[in-house]
Amino acid sequence: MSITQNTIIGIIGSGAMGMGIAQVAAMAGHEVVLYDNNTAALDNAKKILTRTLQKIQEKGKIISAHEILQRFSFANNIVEFANCGLVIEAVVENLEVKKSLFAEVEIIVSNDCLLASNTSSLSITSIAAACKNPARVLGLHFFNPAPLMALVEIIPAIQTDADLLPSAKELMQQWGKIPVIAKDTPGFIVNRVARPFYGEAIRIYEEGFADIATIDWAMTEIGGFRMGPFTLMDYIGHDVNYVVTETVFQSFYYDPRYKPSLSQKRLVEAGWLGRKSGMGFYSYAEGVTMPLPNKDIILGTQIFERILAMLINEAVDALYLKVASTIDLETAMTRGVNYPKGLLQWCDEWGADKCLEKLDKMYHEYHEDRYRASALLRKQSIGNKKFV
C-alpha cells in the first residue's frame, strides 16, 4: 500500500474541508475525484476552486490554474472512486455517517486502496471497525483552511497496519505539510490540548472575574497568542467548537477537565454561531463598536497565567499518556493552532514548580477535579526537570 505521483486521490465531501484537501492534492500533482451526493454543493465547489486557483495564478504562485483544474473530476456517484489509491473522507462529524460511508467505499475500491478520515475528534478505531479490512484505515486530520494550514495529524487506529505510517508521513511531506503522529484518543493532539484555551477562558468570564474583551486582550497582549479565545471561538464557529468540546467530554467519560460551558451552549441554541451568523460572544453587525478591555496588567497577568497553567497541564498529561512524542506535541501546537511557543518549552521556561503551584492553588480553592495536576507535572516539579 504505497502512494505515488500517479495515485488518484478520492475526496468525500465538497464542503470547505473537502475542497481544501482536494486542492492540496491536485496542486501536489495528483488526479483528484471530488465526490458529493449533493449536486448543487458539488457545482459550487467547482466554481470556488476555479476562482481560488485563478487568484493563486494571478499572484504568480502557480503557472496554470487550468492545468490544475484539469486534474479534477467532480462526481455525484461514489462508484467513481474505483481507481483511487487513497480516499479521504471529509463529511459531517457524525460517527454513524462516517462508518456507513467507509463500509460503502470499501466495496468499490481496490484491496490496496488506503482509506482515511479527516475527523477532528471521533474514534478512528470505531470508523475502521466498519470495514472488512480495518488495517488500511487511518486518520488524516487536516486543519482549516487546508491549503494554508501546514499541520496534519496522522492517527492510526489500533487495527491500522503499522507499515502505513511512514508512507502516510512521507505523502503529507510531499504535499508540503508537517505531519505529526497522534494516538487514537479523543481530540488527538490539538483538539485535546487546546480545550483549556476555550474552557478556562469561559470559566473566568462566567465567574465575573473579567469580561470577554479583557480576557482576549490578556491572551494576545500579555500571552502573545494571535487571537484571544473568544475571538477565536467566534471565528471557528460555536457549532463547530462547542461540538468538539462536547465530543471530547463525552469520549473521556465526562472528565471534568473537558466540561463544556452553558454560556457557549446557549449561543449555539440561539443560533449565535459567531462571525458566520453575525453574532457570537461579540456582535459583528455593521457599525457596532467592539467593547474595550480593562488593560490592568496585574489582572491580565492573572488571567493569562491561569489559562497557561491549564494548557501546560494538558500538554504534559498528553505526553504522560503517550498521546504523542515531545516533538510532535510541540509541533502540533505551534503549527496547528499557532501558539507562540510549545507548551512543554513554556513549562521549562516558566518552571514546572510554578505551574504546579498555580494548579494546586486552584484545586484547593475550587475542590474541582478539572484543576488536578498531571502526575508527570508533579514529578517534573521536583528539581524543576526539563521537558525539552
Catalytic annotation, pick one of 141, 238, 314, 381: 141
The CATH number, out of the four listed (3.30.530.20, 1.10.1040.50, 3.40.640.10, 2.140.10.30), of the domain defined by the range 192-381: 1.10.1040.50
Mean pLDDT on 362-380: 97
What's the predicted TM-score (pTM) here? 0.94
State the pLDDT at residue 1.
Answer: 59
CB 83 within 8 Å of CB 8: yes
Confidence of residue 272 (pLDDT cuts 50, 70, 90): very high
Query: Is 153 a residue whose pLDDT tops 80?
Result: yes
- Give yes or no for residue 113 having a pLDDT over 90: yes
Quick check: is 66 catalytic?
no
Across the chain, where does the E strand assignment appear?
Answer: 8-12, 32-35, 72-75, 84-89, 114-117, 137-142, 151-156, 178-181
The 10s digit of each residue's pLDDT in 35-65 is 999 999 999 999 999 999 999 999 999 889 9
pLDDT of residue 302: 98
Q: DSSP states of 289-301 as a string?
A: PPPPP---HHHHH
DSSP bridge pairs for 32: 9, 72
d(C-alpha 384, C-alpha 351), whole Å = 6
Residues 6+ apart with CB under 8 A from 351: 384
Cell of 53: 486557483
Stretch 129-142: mean pLDDT: 97
C-alpha span between 248 and 69 (Å, rounded):
38
Burial class (CB in 10 A: 0-12, 13-18, 19+), 366: exposed
Do the beta carbons of residue 159 and residue 135 sit within 8 Å?
yes
* Residue 381 bears catalytic tag: no
The string of pLDDT tens digits covering residues 325-353 is: 999 999 999 999 999 999 999 999 999 99
Q: Which entry of 14, 117, 120, 313 is annotated as an active-site residue?
A: 120
Name 176's Cβ contacts closer than 8 Å, sequence gap at least 6. Answer: 24, 28, 150
The set of residues, in sequence order, having a beta carbon less than 8 Å from that of 157 and lying 6+ positions away, is 123, 124, 125, 127, 128, 134, 137, 138, 139, 184
Is residue 153 annotated as a catalytic residue, yes or no?
Answer: yes
Q: CA of 281: how far to CAs of 126, 175, 210, 277, in Å?
A: 35, 36, 14, 11
The answer on pLDDT for 5 being more than 80 is no
For residue 212, pLDDT over 80 is answered with: yes
Alpha carbon distance 112, 361 (integer Å): 54
Choose the catalytic residue: 31, 153, 200, 330.
153
- Cβ atoms of 51 and 41 within 8 Å: the answer is no
List the chain domain ranges: 8-181, 192-381
The phi-psi region of residue 79 (left if phi > 0; otherwise alpha if psi is between -120 and 50; otherwise beta) is alpha
Question: Using an 8 Å Cβ cutoff, are 318 and 248 in contact?
Answer: no
Q: What is the mean pLDDT of the chain?
A: 96
Kindly tell me if the per-residue pLDDT of 6 is higher than 90: no
CA separation for the pair 154, 164 (Å, rounded):
10
3, 85 contact by CB (below 8 A): yes
**Pairwise CA distance, residues 84 & 81, whole Å:** 5
Q: pLDDT, tens digit, for every residue of 160-211?
A: 999 999 999 999 999 999 999 999 999 999 999 999 999 999 999 999 999 9
- Buried b vs exposed e over 176-205: b needs ≥16 C-beta within 10 Å? ebbbbbbbbbbbbbbbbbbbbbbbbbbbbb
- In terms of Cβ atoms closer than 10 Å to its own Cβ (0-12, 13-18, 19+), residue 324 is buried
Q: pLDDT value at position 67?
A: 95
Range 8-181: architecture per CATH: 3-Layer(aba) Sandwich (3.40)
- Write out the three cell numbers for 375: 502526575
| SS3 state of residue 180 | strand
Q: Point out the catalytic residue in the list 118, 123, 191, 241.
A: 191
Look up 191 and say whether it is catalytic: yes
Please state, in angstroms and rounded to a whole number, the distance separating the CA atoms of residues 272 and 233. Answer: 11
Q: Position of cell 475525484? A: 33
